[in-house]
Structure 1
Amino acid sequence: MTASSRPDWLAIGVFAVTSVALSWLVALPLWLRGQGLADPFLGLVAAAMMFTPSLGVVAALLVQRRTRGRRGARAVLRELGMWPLRPAVRTVWTCVAVIIAAPLLVAIGLAIVGALGLATFDLVGFSGFQRTLEETVPAGTPLPPVGLLVAVQLATIPIGAVINAPFAFGEELGWRGFLLPALRPLGVWPALVVSGAFWGFWHAPLILLGYNFLEPNAFGVLLMIVGCILFGILIGWTRLRTASVWPAVFAHGAFNASAGLGALVVAADSATPSPVVAGPLGVVMWGVFAVGIAVLVLSGQFRADRLDARLGPDPVRVDAPSGTPST
Structure 2
Amino acid sequence: MSSRDLRSIGLFTILAFALAWLLALPLWFGDGLASPWFTVVATATMMTPAIAALAVVFFVERPQQKAWTLGLWPLRPVPRVLGYAALGIFVSIALVLAALPVGALLGVYPVDLVNFSAFRQLLDEQVGAAGVAEIPIPIGALIVIQLAALPMAAFINLIPALGEELGWRGWLLPKLMPLGVLPALLISGVIWGLWHAPLILLGYNYPDAPGWLGLTAMVAMCILVGAVFGWLRLRSGSVWPAALAHAAFNGAGASYLFFAKAGEHIDTTQATVLGWSGWIVPLALVVTLIATGRFASAKHPSTPPSKEEGRPPERPATGHVTGE
Confirm or deny a common fold (TM above 0.5).
yes
The offset of 1:161, in angstroms, is 1.1
The answer as to 2:7 corresponding to 1:38 is no
User: Equivalent residue for 2:17?
Assistant: 20
Q: Could you tell me which of 84, 92, 101 is aligned with 2:91?
A: 101
The offset of 1:96, in angstroms, is 0.5
Q: Distance in 2 between matches of 1:10 and 1:77?
A: 21
The offset of 1:200, in angstroms, is 0.4
- Contact 1:185/1:316 (<8 A) preserved: no
| CA separation of 1:120 and 1:221: change in aligned 2, threshold 3 A | closer
The answer as to 2:105 corresponding to 1:115 is yes
The offset of 1:273, in angstroms, is 2.6
* Percentage of identical aligned residues: 41
| CA separation of 1:141 and 1:230: change in aligned 2, threshold 3 A | same
Q: Distance in 2 between matches of 1:23 and 1:316?
A: 35
The answer as to 2:141 corresponding to 1:148 is yes
Q: Distance in 2 between matches of 1:131 and 1:142?
A: 12
Q: Distance in 2 between matches of 1:229 and 1:133?
A: 34
Kindly report the root-mean-square deviation, in angstroms, between the aligned alpha carbons of the 2 structures: 2.1
Q: Distance in 2 between matches of 1:223 and 1:281?
A: 7
Aligned 1:1-327 pairs, distance under 5 A:
8-33=5-30, 35-65=31-61, 70-72=62-64, 75-138=65-128, 141-145=133-137, 146-214=139-207, 215-268=209-262, 271-303=264-296, 306-313=297-304, 317-318=318-319, 324=323
Q: Distance in 2 between matches of 1:237 and 1:7?
A: 26
> Which residue type is aligned with residue 80 of structure 1?
L
Deviates more, 1:221-230 or 1:308-317: 308-317
> Which residue type is aligned with residue 135 of structure 2?
L
Deviates more, 1:208-217 or 1:253-262: 208-217
TM-score relative to the length of structure 2: 0.89
Q: Distance in 2 between matches of 1:96 and 1:277?
A: 29
Q: Distance in 1 between matches of 2:12 and 2:162?
A: 16
Q: Deviations over 1:218-242 (max 9, x none)?
A: 2221211111111111110111111
Q: Distance in 2 between matches of 1:288 and 1:268?
A: 26
Q: Deviations over 1:75-118 (max 9, x none)?
A: 11111111111222111011101111111111211001111222
- Contact 1:239/1:248 (<8 A) preserved: yes
Q: Deviations over 1:112-149 (max 9, x none)?
A: 11112223323343222111111223277221322232
Stretches of structure 2 lacking an aligned partner (at least 5 in a row) = 306-315
Q: Distance in 1 between matches of 2:158 and 2:132?
A: 37
Q: Distance in 1 between matches of 2:267 and 2:284?
A: 22
- Contact 1:102/1:254 (<8 A) preserved: yes
Q: Distance in 1 between matches of 2:112 and 2:145?
A: 17
- Contact 2:175/2:302 (<8 A) preserved: no
- Contact 2:272/2:278 (<8 A) preserved: yes
> Which residue type is aligned with residue 39 of structure 1?
S
SS at match of 2:277: helix
| CA separation of 1:227 and 1:32: change in aligned 2, threshold 3 A | same
Q: Deviations over 1:6-49 (max 9, x none)?
A: 6611211111111111001111110111x222222222211110
Deviation beyond 4 Å, 4+ runs, structure 1? 312-316
- Contact 2:224/2:283 (<8 A) preserved: yes
The offset of 1:257, in angstroms, is 0.9
- Contact 2:273/2:279 (<8 A) preserved: no
User: Equivalent residue for 2:308?
Assistant: none
SS at match of 2:157: helix
Stretches of structure 1 lacking an aligned partner (at least 5 in a row) = none
Q: Distance in 1 between matches of 2:234 and 2:118?
A: 41
Q: Distance in 1 between matches of 2:320 and 2:176?
A: 19
> Which residue type is aligned with residue 211 of structure 1?
Y
SS at match of 1:125: coil
Q: Distance in 2 between matches of 1:278 and 1:41?
A: 28
The offset of 1:319, in angstroms, is 8.6
| CA separation of 1:58 and 1:222: change in aligned 2, threshold 3 A | same
- Contact 1:37/1:210 (<8 A) preserved: yes
Q: Distance in 2 between matches of 1:243 and 1:108?
A: 27
- Contact 1:212/1:279 (<8 A) preserved: no
Q: Distance in 1 between matches of 2:293 and 2:216?
A: 30
